[in-house]
A and B are shown apart, each in its own frame.
Chain A
Amino acid sequence: MTPEKVALSPGSPAPKPRSNGTPDNRLAAELTRALGPKKVLSARSERLNYRYDAIQFGETPLAVVLPETTADVVTAVRAARAAGVPIVGRGAASGLSGGAAPLRESLVISFTRMTRLEVFPERREARAQAGVVTLAVTEKARPHGLIYPPDPASFRTSTIGGNLGENAGGPMCFKYGVTGDYVKGLEFVDAEGEVHRLTRDAYDLAGLLIGSEGTLGLITEATLRLTLPPKHTRTLMASFPEVGEAAEAVSAAIAAGAVPSKLEFMDTACTNAVEDYLAVGLPREAGAVLLVDTDGDDLETVEEERALVEAACLNAGGTVRRAGSDAESAALWQARRSVSPALGRIRPQRMNEDIVVPRSVLPDVVREIRALGDASGLPLVQFGHIGDGNLHPNILFDPRREDVHAVHDLAHQIALVAIRHGGVLSGEHGIGTMKRPFMREAVDPVTLGALWSVKRALDPSEALNPGKILPDEDEAHAHP
């Protein structure tokens, strides 16, 4: 698909490969006929922008549909099925595992215009179409005294459909859980173009769809559980000379009975990247920083819990700073939310891990990963929802400077560290294409076979987001 390069000079005539305007393939033409030109992108300049997510570039899709209703999704799925073209669902494409980037020429269904959102305060529920931006749910619920807790770092951008597809988490998940814990029911369109409405009784098929990354069905709408916000929140920041000490403090604090609402960790490269962007006064010299919120309706308990965490941090060799105001606390949390993209200041690309390990082994795991990074010579940073044991080691690289094979090797070694310590490959970002190569080591063959059976039951022709999550079946069978 790469045409000849055209060398450019100032004032040189614009290169003129291909032309814009009319659909240039049959699927795009058929969709435009069925849905009208406003809901279908068929020009190459438009389609080009639907081949990536926040981690990788894939193949340019044959057509993009921007549905406004579930019926539009059904029409699109049936047209793609008739044309034998795979389908990739997409929200705001802020995902970090390659989930929304098509691996083959596909139909991309982008949900950003399905933004109907209703709040039912008496039932403490919201009904959101797939394209509703995550933050909008809480914004609409707040006047009724309610909030929607799941808060992935990208919550200003990401959509509910994307959150469900990846079962997104966020800092709040330690105490309050991940997206899947707030789903009461959902509507989805299957690979045949049939609409299903699921609750969570009988077989928890909704639970199966959550985190399936668009490989089992396309979620079009969800009924979400809302909760009361805690009356009081207290924030503290602790800095440590070394990453392992921060992990020790976490284990000790939780062992002592603290249940912070957020317990986040950033290593020195993270704090410096963010400080370059926001300048909120993070300790640049620290080897690791912990950010902690305790919350609840009883101020005394909230303060006691903060004191427990504080003591654990001091014991582990840390220095503690309490946020003096809501504004200071908000600035610290904005800093944490900016970590992932701020790393772009160090290298333009990254390999993003999303491992979860038992909290008891956290100090060993972060130290081992740090040592692997140092030995590799590649820029490696660690941050994550350490309260959950959810770590995001990121290998930063520039393919023009660093060997991509070395990057993959290091990623593999990190995945093995997690597995060796009884951990798993994904806490919240999904498997996508990034961690698919490690699945066979992380999941036993019998279980993998069960996953394949589910996939075959719901998507027999493998039309939905092919090449994601599950390693090739043939290979799986080759290793019984």
Chain B
Amino acid sequence: MNNEIPVSALGPQGEVMAHAVDACVHCGFCLPACPTYTILGDEMDSPRGRIVLMKEVLEGELPLADAAPHLDRCLGCQACVTACPSGVPYGELITSFRGWSEPQRERSAFDRAKRAAILKILPAPKVFSVAARVGQYAKPLAPLLPAALRAPMDLLPERVPAMQPSARVTPAKGKKRGRVAFLVGCAQQALTPNFNAATLRVLARNGIEVVIPEGQGCCGAAALHTGARDEALRLVRRNLDAFDPDEYDAILSNAAGCGAGLKEYPVVLHGLPDEERARAFSAKVQDISEYLNGLLQSGDLERPMPTSRHLTVAYHDACHLAHAQGVRAAPRQLLKAIPGVTVAEIPEGDLCCGSAGTYNLEQPELANQLGIRKAGHILSTTPDLIASGNIGCHTQIQSHVRRQGSRVPVMHTVEVLDLAYRGEL
């Protein structure tokens, strides 16, 4: 659709937005892919509708405050990007728009404080760990608390594990095949330290030396997708300084959200001085499943041991893996490489589980509806195990599956592989 967005006044991110708006032919193929359209059934809460709303605001035809409720309901899952034959970069549009519009938002003091707290705590593993522990003990009080505070507590596991700092360098075992840098992630260090431990073990076992560069920090995705652009730029540049792409075969992440964030750096820095550096950096970024599947396909992956009995693994596509990064086959291939494992496809598999970064905290009601729906679909496959590649999905799915009375283990794909290597699956 043609726009009259005053690109020159908006700068480089204006170009990104105007390009995305222009690419939309309003065909509606995105509608059935959108979780909020599926639930709410109205055009304003669909990708096509949101593009029109953003266009109108950018053109000065509609007050931001009128469009905001519908834009805030977008999970950023990018299922619409997968569904879009016209190639509209919707993810880039909504992220840029949120960055542009956030400074103009009128928010209540409580809302501002909540957002600031999320953005402070989430990227600081130690603070997060303390907060999670406090939350864990406060859990029995949850029914007495306002919804905004109850939502994060619902997602906490019953037991918050102790932090397990990772070694700066994990040497390869046996013949050394490669050297990679690893982004350790934020919240997952506190909630699920075994994700990283399993990742390091699996890589080392396959002859890969893993370096955790000093000075690295949060990928910046949470800040970026909630519109805190300046904060995001600071985090992005910090990581560009910490990781020298020339030193490594790959830069790995085992959290789909973080990996997608790292791959987004060139768009974030579009038209800014570090754009080229960002391009070189993101060209090296891979999800852990992509990297391991590369080894599998070239015959370099050590064969996992057969399972003790036949196992059905329901694999959940994290939106930031399947839609934002286009990684679908790799994790399935890895799971299927374990003798005795069958991978079950989840009905309505492309629909977001409702976690989506900070969405759970900002739109708890919609997040909850999606969580219930997702857990129901997953359990309909009667799995022995549920696997996914993202901490956000992990906590959301675990929490909803438990509420529906199931004790099925929920794991990271790489944890499943790790157990298979150790003969414990």
Interface residues, chain A, CB within 8 Å of chain B?
2-20, 41, 43-46, 48-50, 52-54, 57, 66, 92-94, 110, 112-113, 115, 133, 154, 156-158, 274, 276-277, 338-345, 348-350, 398-400
| Chain B 49-79 interface residues, beta-carbon cutoff 8 Å to A | 49, 52-53, 56-67, 70
Query: Do residues A93 and B2 form an inter-chain contact, with CB atoms below 8 A?
Result: no
Please tell me which one of the listed residues A11, A15, A110, A274 contacts residue B43 in the complex, with CB atoms under 8 A apart: A110
| Stretch of B21-29, B277-285, B307-315, B380-388 contacting A (4+ beta carbons < 8 Å) | B21-29
Residue of B nearest to A398 (CB): B2
Chain A residues with Cβ below 8 Å from B222 are none
Chain A residues with Cβ below 8 Å from B32 are 133, 156-157
Query: Do residues B57 and A345 form an inter-chain contact, with CB atoms below 8 A?
Result: no
Query: Do residues B64 and A14 form an inter-chain contact, with CB atoms below 8 A?
Result: yes
Q: Given the known A-B contacts A7-B9, A45-B44, are A93 and B52 also in contact in the complex, defined by CB atoms under 8 Å?
A: no
> 9 interchain pairs (CB within 8 A)?
A7-B6, A8-B6, A43-B66, A49-B44, A53-B26, A66-B41, A154-B27, A157-B31, A399-B2
Query: Is B165 an interface residue when CB atoms closer than 8 A count as contact?
Result: no
Query: Is B87 an interface residue when CB atoms closer than 8 A count as contact?
Result: yes
Query: Do residues A54 and B61 form an inter-chain contact, with CB atoms below 8 A?
Result: no
Q: Given the known A-B contacts A110-B43, A341-B84, A342-B85, are A348 and B25 also in contact in the complex, defined by CB atoms under 8 Å?
A: yes
- Number of contacting residues on B, CB 8 A? 48
Task: Report the bound CA distance from A20 to B69 in whole Å.
Answer: 11
Residue of B nearest to A21 (CB): B66
B240 to chain A, nearest CB (A): 22
B392 to chain A, nearest CB (A): 27
Residue of A nearest to B22 (CB): A348
Residue of B nearest to A4 (CB): B60
Q: A7-B6, A10-B10, A341-B29 are in contact. List 19 more A-B contacts (CB 8 A).
A: A3-B61, A10-B100, A12-B104, A14-B101, A17-B62, A17-B63, A44-B62, A48-B53, A48-B56, A94-B31, A157-B28, A277-B86, A341-B85, A342-B85, A344-B24, A344-B85, A348-B23, A348-B24, A349-B2
| Chain B 1-46 interface residues, beta-carbon cutoff 8 Å to A | 1-2, 4, 6, 9-11, 13, 22-29, 31-32, 41-44
Query: Do residues A345 and B63 form an inter-chain contact, with CB atoms below 8 A?
Result: no
Please tell me which one of the listed residues A17, A50, A92, A277 contacts residue B85 in the complex, with CB atoms under 8 A apart: A277
Query: Is B103 an interface residue when CB atoms closer than 8 A count as contact?
Result: yes
Residue of B2, B66, B84 with most chain A CB atoms under a 10 A cut-off: B66
Residue of A nearest to B51 (CB): A49
B423 to chain A, nearest CB (A): 34
Chain B residues with Cβ below 8 Å from A94 are 27-29, 31
Query: Do residues A92 and B28 form an inter-chain contact, with CB atoms below 8 A?
Result: yes
Task: Report the bound CA distance from A66 to B70 in whole Å.
Answer: 17
Task: Report the bound CA distance from A41 to B43 in whole Å.
Answer: 11
Chain B residues with Cβ below 8 Å from A41 are 42, 44
